[in-house]
Structure 1
Amino acid sequence: MSTTTPMATGTIRFTATAMSTDLLTLAQWLSPAFPVGAFSYSHGLEAAFHAGWISDADSLEAWLADLLTHGAGRSDATLLAAAYRGKMPLGEIDEIARAFTPSAERLLETAAQGQAFAEVVGAVWGAELDGLTYPVALGAAAREGLPLGLTLTLYLQAFTSNLIAAAQRLGPIGQTEGQRILHRLSPLIEATAEAATPGDPDSLASAAFLADIASMRHETQYSRIFRS
């Protein structure tokens, strides 16, 4: 059963239908096929493999777990929730998001994906999100009728899945092995999403220092296949 009552605010208009509609919209936005160029960024993984800090499935899983609990996974989810909840003007949240990027390439990663997301969502759904970093743009788009918890969970799953796909191109990580890692990290993804739900900017923190150093090293790495 469904109704056709639209959201009263914002430029994106969803109808109040069953959860399947929300899921389909988010699956579309966070699909590898959605043209934000996520496949071209490794979030510093390329430098980490190059340095030998990641060498197999176990070290990759530990690295991703740290990103989710202490790094960009945690902070980006909080920024997304802050934008969704309107904790402060979007421009101010976006400034914080930019300040949290530890290197020029990580800034490129979030800004370029945010702009690409804004262009497509603007063309298809009519939203005006230009100039926002990726998690802030997604949070602002989702608040026009999509559930925050589901948005956070699927965003973090897409974040983790994209890095696993990057790792499969960089090291001896097979496809089945990659799916095992994603499956094992699912409870942590859910826990990180739940912790980020309040969207409190005062709770922002990051302590994934080796990942930050890897992103800096990547900027001067001699041979690269990723943009970050």
Structure 2
Amino acid sequence: MDIITLTNSHFLHILQLASSALPVGAYSYSEGLETLVEHGTITNQVTLQRWLEAELRYGAIRLEAAVMLRASQAVTRGDIERLCYWNSWLSAARETQELRNSSWQMGRSLMQLLGKIQPQILPLVNAVGNPSNYAIAFGMAAAHWQIHPQAALLAYLHSWATNLMTAGVKLIPLGQTAGQEILLELQPLITHATVEIMSLADDDMACCSWGLSLASMQHETQYTRLFRS
């Protein structure tokens, strides 16, 4: 992995973009964890960590992160056509309505936020239009704030892991210390996944996420739910 040199401004932008306080509604989604906990597939700290590790190695989050990287690169090059292409591509790659809707809702929220706090990005927001996936909006923000692609990937994956860790802590339930231990244990894998995604060719963009898809589809009809998906 390359050594990343960041200015204070770049570092603060990364923290803001990856923060759980970012008002995009990420806290309301569990990405199938709620189903898996109810079915007894995930019952403790060990099984939650194993699920997150499997997703980082083989799951749909790798596609999201790869598209986020391509969105950032397209914005940097001023290639709006390519940016819109990857937005449509990621929408088509979603395997369930719940996962697609969550990505669209978070993308719309981030686009609206960017338009308000960074008005100069509005032409780009309007060019992409609605619906916009969250990974696309994240990549646009990363490019606008000139965040190093590798740093943006690390932030994106860490933000995803933090959100699902928080969901797991609530659902299983687990203590806050257990959640932080999981995040610490995931750091080497997040770093490794970032290196792989950085070198991933377009034709090699694939994932094995049937477990996530089945959990998501069953979540739609779950009798009681704390999360939207």
Structures share fold, TM-score greater than 0.5: yes
Inter-partner Cα distance in structure 2 for 1:18 and 1:52: 43
Take 2:46 and 2:89, find their aligned partners in 1: how far apart are those partners?
Answer: 33
Report the equivalent of 2:204.
Answer: 203
Matching residue within 67, 70, 73 for 1:79: 67
- Please list every run of 5 or more consecutive structure 2 residues that lacks an aligned counterpart in the other structure: none
Distance 2:172 2:10 in 1: 36
Letter in 1 for 2:138: L
Displacement after TM superposition at 1:139 (Å): 1.0
CA RMSD of aligned residues (A): 1.6
Tell me how far apart the structure 2 counterparts of residues 206 and 99 of structure 1 sit (CA, whole Å).
Answer: 14
Q: What is the percentage of aligned positions where both structures have the same residue? A: 33
| SS at structure 2 position matched to 1:89 | helix
Task: Render the CA deviation track for 1:176-200: whole Å, top value 9, x for unaligned.
Answer: 0110011000011111112112463
CA shift digits 1:20-66 (9 cap, x unpaired):
21111111122111100110000110011111111111110010011
- Structure 1 residue 168: deviation in Å? 0.9
Q: Between Structure 1 and Structure 2, which shows a larger proportion of helix residues?
A: 2
Aligned length: 212
> Which one of the candidate residues 110, 116, 125 is aligned to 1:117?
110
Question: Given residue 117 of structure 1, which amino acid in structure 2 is its aligned partner?
Answer: L
Amino acid of the structure 2 residue aligned with 1:119: Q
Structure 2 match to 1:134 = 134
| 2:86 equivalent to 1:93 | yes
Deviation for aligned residue 1:18: 5.1
The CA distance in 2 between the partners of 1:39 and 1:116, in whole Å, is 13
Deviates more, 1:182-191 or 1:203-212: 203-212
Q: Structure 1: state its 5+ residue gaps.
A: 1-16
Q: Does 1:23 align with 2:16?
A: no
Partner of 2:194: 193
- For residues 175 and 212 of structure 2, what CA distance do their matches in structure 1 show? 22
Moved over 6 A (4+): none
Matched, 1:59 2:38: no
Which moves more between the two structures, 19-28 or 194-203? 194-203
AA partner of residue 210 (structure 1): G
User: Cα deviation per residue 1:148-191 (whole Å; 9 max; x = unaligned)?
Assistant: 11111011001000000001110132110110011000011111
Q: Deviations over 1:112-169 (max 9, x none)?
A: 0001001111110122324220011111221231111111101100100000000111
Distance across 2 between alignment mates of 1:84 and 1:51:
38
